[in-house]
């Protein structure tokens, strides 16, 4: 049974009604390069992937929202206008409530709804399941309510929900790619002015994502402290964000800040340069150059930003030992989660076999491997009768 069938069957079981539900999806994402640059107003190069959050829903005549999170066997029920307190012990509920709160803040008029939410994005793996939930639920509500906002504004609302309701100080990348992804393309995003450019991914390469099995709670780790380090560095250089610091300026003045903050700033500044170079490599279809930039990105995330872990480092080493792998790096915020590799199509089986054979013996855990294609952003799915 497909995940779509499961979602629709669950809706029919939970909300018996003569009204057929509508079905919506929002994708997870993999970031090919450009890590921890988005909240520094820099550049990122993600792609939406064919792992999604699905919402089956019908509108209600009142302002109540009833959402069942199928993967977690968990309910959230609240009123749009007066029940939007943050919950403890119910992360999904906070994403649901957060996007409703943010859309109301933007002035959207929303109806109530009954909904089932499910998905096949690995939770806690750094593939942006939270942004996909926010975008999918927000898009569903807007469509059911007949309220129209741009996909860009939906992305901004989802980011506001994450920042100001959930309490995770993420940048715009995850929500933006969930809204604006395009099939078979990566999306170069300028996180300062939110301009973007779709860049075709060469058909001869596959994107392979490997979940290390090390799952992290970003709020419990050091994501926010990394952001604070970046803000300290920006203040030292007299700018609002590290995007505005050149490598030359960094070398001239970095000696006056702590070694830790130096390393954080060096990563962000060099990663912005790598991301722009990677976009040029894609335009030129130079996958070897793109791969070298991925490798350098991982080293910087490991050594300067210190967000890797032994399992991710080992996965990258394994991948780079396989002939036909252009490059590999951790993807997402780090502290666990996933590696992404750009691989010749004919080398995918060798990479898969290498990891399946060797990773468990050195890491003491199993990896999950996803061979992905770049997919489209949020949308409604036509239900076949």
What tokens does 216 get?
């992290």
CA distance 78 to 67: 9
CA distance 113 to 345: 43
**Residue spans of the chain under pLDDT 50:** 219
pLDDT given for residue 218 in this prediction:
52
Same domain, 147 and 219: no
Same domain, 207 and 191: no
Give the chain's domain count. 2
Q: What is the CATH number of the domain that holds 45?
A: 3.30.230.10
Q: Which residues are catalytic?
A: 174
pLDDT given for residue 219 in this prediction:
47
Same domain, 154 and 35: yes
Same domain, 187 and 268: no
Same domain, 314 and 166: no
Same domain, 64 and 184: yes
CB–CB of 86/97 below 8 Å?
yes
Same domain, 15 and 146: yes
Same domain, 207 and 284: yes
Q: What is the CATH number of the domain that holds 247?
A: 3.30.70.890
What tokens does 318 get?
């394994």
CB–CB of 178/128 below 8 Å?
yes
Q: Exposure of 184 by Cβ count < 10 A (0-12 exposed, 13-18 middle, 19+ buried)? A: middle
Q: For the segment 133-161, what is each residue's pLDDT rounded down to a tens digit?
A: 999 999 999 999 999 999 999 999 999 99
Q: For the segment 55-96, what is each residue's pLDDT rounded down to a tens digit?
A: 999 999 999 999 999 998 999 999 998 778 888 777 788 999
Question: Reduced to 3 states, what is the DSSP secondary structure of residue 282?
Answer: helix
Q: What is the pTM of this model?
A: 0.90
Same domain, 106 and 240: no
pLDDT given for residue 217 in this prediction:
56
pLDDT given for residue 216 in this prediction:
66
**Can you give the residue range of the structural domain that contains 276?**
201-372
Same domain, 187 and 206: no
Same domain, 213 and 251: yes
- The phi-psi region of residue 332 (left if phi > 0; otherwise alpha if psi is between -120 and 50; otherwise beta) is left
Same domain, 293 and 155: no
């Amino acid at each position: 049974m497909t995940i779509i069938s499961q979602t629709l069957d669950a809706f029919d079981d939970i909300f018996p009604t003569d009204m057929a539900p509508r079905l919506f999806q929002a994708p997870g994402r993999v970031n090919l390069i450009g890590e921890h640059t988005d909240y520094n107003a820099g550049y990122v190069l993600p792609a939406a992937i064919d792992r999604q959050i699905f919402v089956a829903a019908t509108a209600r005549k009142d302002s109540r929202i009833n959402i069942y999170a199928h993967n977690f066997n968990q309910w959230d029920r609240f009123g749009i206008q007066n029940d939007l307190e943050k919950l403890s012990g119910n992360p999904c509920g906070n994403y649901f409530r957060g996007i409703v709160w943010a859309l109301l803040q933007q002035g959207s008029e929303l109806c109530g709804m009954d909904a089932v939410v499910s998905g096949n994005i690995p939770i806690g793996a750094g593939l942006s399941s939270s942004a996909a939930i926010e975008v999918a639920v927000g898009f569903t509500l807007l469509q059911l309510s007949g309220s129209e906002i741009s996909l860009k504004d939906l992305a901004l609302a989802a980011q506001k929900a994450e920042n100001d309701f959930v309490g995770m100080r993420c940048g715009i990348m995850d929500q933006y790619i969930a809204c604006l992804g395009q099939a078979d393309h990566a999306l170069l995003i300028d996180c300062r002015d939110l301009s973007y450019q779709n860049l075709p991914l060469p058909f001869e390469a596959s994107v392979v994502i490997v979940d290390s099995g090390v799952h992290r709670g970003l709020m419990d780790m050091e994501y926010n402290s990394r952001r604070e380090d970046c803000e300290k560095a920006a203040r030292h250089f007299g700018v609002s964000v590290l995007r505005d610091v050149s490598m030359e300026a960094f070398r001239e003045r970095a000696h006056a800040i702590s070694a830790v903050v130096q390393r954080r700033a060096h990563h962000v500044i060099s990663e912005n340069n790598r991301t722009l170079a990677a976009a040029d490599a894609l335009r030129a279809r130079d996958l070897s150059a793109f791969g070298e930039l991925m490798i350098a990105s991982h080293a910087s995330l490991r050594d300067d930003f210190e967000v890797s872990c032994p399992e991710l480092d080992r996965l990258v080493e394994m991948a780079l030992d396989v002939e036909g792998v252009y490059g590999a790096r951790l993807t997402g915020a780090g502290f666990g989660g996933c590696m992404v590799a750009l691989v010749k199509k004919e080398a995918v089986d060798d990479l898969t076999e290498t990891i399946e054979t060797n990773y468990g013996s050195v890491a003491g855990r199993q990896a999950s491997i996803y061979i992905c294609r770049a997919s489209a952003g949020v949308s409604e799915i036509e239900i076949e009768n």
